[in-house]
A and B are shown apart, each in its own frame.
Chain A
């Protein structure tokens, strides 16, 4: 997932989470506190208004449609699926737990059917009880509303192909089978998909009332089952969440009761003004990345209010393998040697805010292997490789978005390209169009700087999504394989790893590590660094917890 921007991602297999590494240890000036489900509800902290800030709203409030980090974070307090990632801080946040389902599903021996028993007594914020009919209707709505992952994450459900083709009137009579008497739902897949449970914990598959219209509801709030419901939403002004009066806690791990009485997300302030407001206690947190020139101040004067956590993401440079000069493997390898990743880390805010990336799979993602084939900048070697490739003197345009860190990295890369023998120029385009522009092969982008955030913790969500032949779509704005890389041999190895994941996760992870290394040798992508998230909260905020999938747990914060 691209941060804060929608895209169509591909799917594959993998599951669960890996054990943490030193690189993923959270860093904070605040005392460590148990949060979310890890601690019991503390009544004395209940109440108050949590005041959040962002430059702008994050689009539609429809959980089946919205594909942004900002609203996915908010949806955690509003909606539930059959399964959920545990609402706790730390590594355990990547673990699945039953949510609206009573227990984890019964999986058929062939891996193609998942049977859930629905909890009884759970109510939507409109007072209606959640039924198996709502579950079936919700899955059908994913296609009716043409959800961004309907043709990818959920394409494997029986009947999905027809629904993707013709969303109106979609029925999944064979794909989602309900038994009202037993209160069960069985989801049938065309083929085994060991990542399917992970996808059921994402906002795109939350359960909504069956009467919800099958089209994007935009700013109109849809009733949910979480502890909060939206009272109003104006993406140019404010999102206001109030307590869902029909909510009763059924699983503290899956959906704990929230602390603030109200959560108010105000839009419009610049991030500089937002930081000042937090310092002054006028707001509690800001969604937007902190400005570079305030980091030192926040990390020193306000260290107890700052929380730093590694993200399952990486910044990288896709090199277009179909056009010169990067159609030559030596030219791509030259860039791997030419980039000083420690220098790029400095542009992001320094060693405590990012870690140089030697691999395509970030630390913390299953399959990550700790190797570094391009450990240190070597300009001489890079120059030699450029000469060997016969591409010296060619023109290269570095296409970056017009936000500060991207521009800085782009300028650095331009300078490096000049040093190793290319005629380089920087092309800065609007952040609003950059992500789709660099995907479209018609735009002939040779090299760009972009980011990828995990949709869910699986190696395939990086390697298969970003570099499989199927991910490249000629002339499309939704061609996430920006390197236009297609290697049948690598595709076969990835398919093998996904198949292996169903039977032997450790072997699958080893396989993914090998694939990662081989891809680094072929170099369709230059990984730059794995970023960390800095959450700067007001002095009154307590019970901070960082969820690896959905970031800071908003409704678990204390403001009283």
Chain B
């Protein structure tokens, strides 16, 4: 067969069709221009954030976690205050220095504490991406286990787990997250052997992961239930395989592509949730920063120094878009017969 198949703009070649399913998916993903552009953009953002300490120390020469209220910097060859007292009229108000567009001296300006916004953005990105990614992994891990168990066993097990999903789903996501955050940020989490300090980054990871479990577990459960009637499962049962083995060896590989598709999409969603919680002061806690806390920091300076909020917002938006486009690409690659978005 020489004809190429076109599905959602992704072409499959005979060579790819002859390879294993994962290789075929990889080949399809590599040929998806949108997904590759998104992945490149994402890689750049991640790389920049990973190199945040290098930028702060070697380029900007600043510690973005130390207040620099009385500090000075050089702009146009002149020494100036980082926080500048107004000299017009009654001389009311103090404004942080704005963007200098000089990477060595407050490229995006300073915040209310006189700290370098660019350096904080990169450090903040580490936390936003870490929380988004870790929460997505944890969420998908928990959801996969619960979804497979509920779908495979059915009956009362399914009823109990489904009601558990319903209970979590009954709360508006942000309301539940804020409630959990307010409680846990006061005293931390002490659950049996698990002890998480109130200021730890693992608290938002845990909270965000838990609230989104039903969103991933429910479709997985449905998929597993559909698999229950398939012949290969009957065959496995007939061969005397245990439930655990069937779930691990037969069911899991069939739902894994769905889980993989969920990962980038959940990362984006979790990152947005983290930003929202941090913006509301119930996410990442000082002295740590995230894009959400930086947006919050910039809110009080929105009128005079909008770049603080805009830049952090742009990073959030670009990363979320990149993750979503990449997620769509993965979806298309793993299941070229389905349309994730824009279906008629």
Give A contacts to B, CB under 8 Å.
27-29, 272, 291-301, 303, 306, 308, 340, 342-344, 346-347, 349-353, 402, 404, 408, 411-412, 414-416, 418-419, 425-426, 428, 534
Contact = CB atoms under 8 A, between A and B. Distances in A.
A292 B301 contact: yes
B221 to A, nearest CB: 40
Contacts of B113: 408, 411-412, 415
A419 B93 CA distance: 27
Contacts of B229: none
B231 interface: no
A458 to B, nearest CB: 30
A425 B285 contact: yes
10 closest Cβ pairs, A-B complex:
A295-B93, A299-B92, A300-B88, A303-B89, A300-B89, A343-B69, A293-B303, A296-B93, A299-B90, A415-B67
Contacts of B300: 291-293, 404
B287 to A, nearest CB: 7
Contact of A298 (B70, B92, B94): B92
Given A293-B301, A404-B300, A353 B70 contact: no
Nearest to B282: A428
A419 B85 CA distance: 25
B100 interface: no
A131 B297 CA distance: 57
B254 interface: no
B286 A303 contact: no
B281 A300 contact: no
B89 A346 contact: no
Given A299-B93, A350-B94, A411-B67, 6 more contacts: A292-B300, A298-B90, A299-B92, A351-B91, A352-B85, A415-B113
Contacts of A419: 66
A294 B285 contact: no
Contacts of A344: 69
Nearest to A348: B94
A308 B90 contact: yes
Interface string B94-115: 1100000000000000001100
Grouping DSSP codes into helix (H, G, I), strand (E, B) and loop, the A interface class, with mixed when no group exceeds half, is: helix
Contacts of A342: 70
Contacts of B286: 411, 414, 425-426, 428
A534 B92 contact: yes
Contact of A343 (B65, B70, B90, B302): B70
A340 B85 CA distance: 16
A415 B88 contact: no
Contacts of A301: 89
Given A291-B303, A293-B301, A428-B281, A340 B69 contact: yes
A414 B287 contact: yes
B281 A27 contact: no
B177 interface: no
B255 to A, nearest CB: 42
Given A299-B90, A300-B88, A308-B90, A347 B69 contact: yes
Contact of A349 (B69, B94, B302, B304): B94
Contacts of B92: 295-296, 298-300, 306, 308, 349-350, 352-353, 534
B86 A295 contact: yes
Contacts of A296: 86, 88, 92-93, 95, 304
Contacts of B88: 296, 299-300
B305 interface: yes
A349 B93 contact: yes
B68 to A, nearest CB: 9
B301 A303 contact: no
Given A296-B93, A352-B92, A412 B67 contact: yes
B323 to A, nearest CB: 30
Contacts of B257: none
A298 B92 CA distance: 8
B83 interface: yes
B90 A29 contact: yes
A291 B93 CA distance: 9
A355 to B, nearest CB: 14
Interface in B181-221: 199
A340 B303 contact: no
A352 B69 contact: no
Contacts of B90: 27-29, 298-300, 303, 306, 308, 352
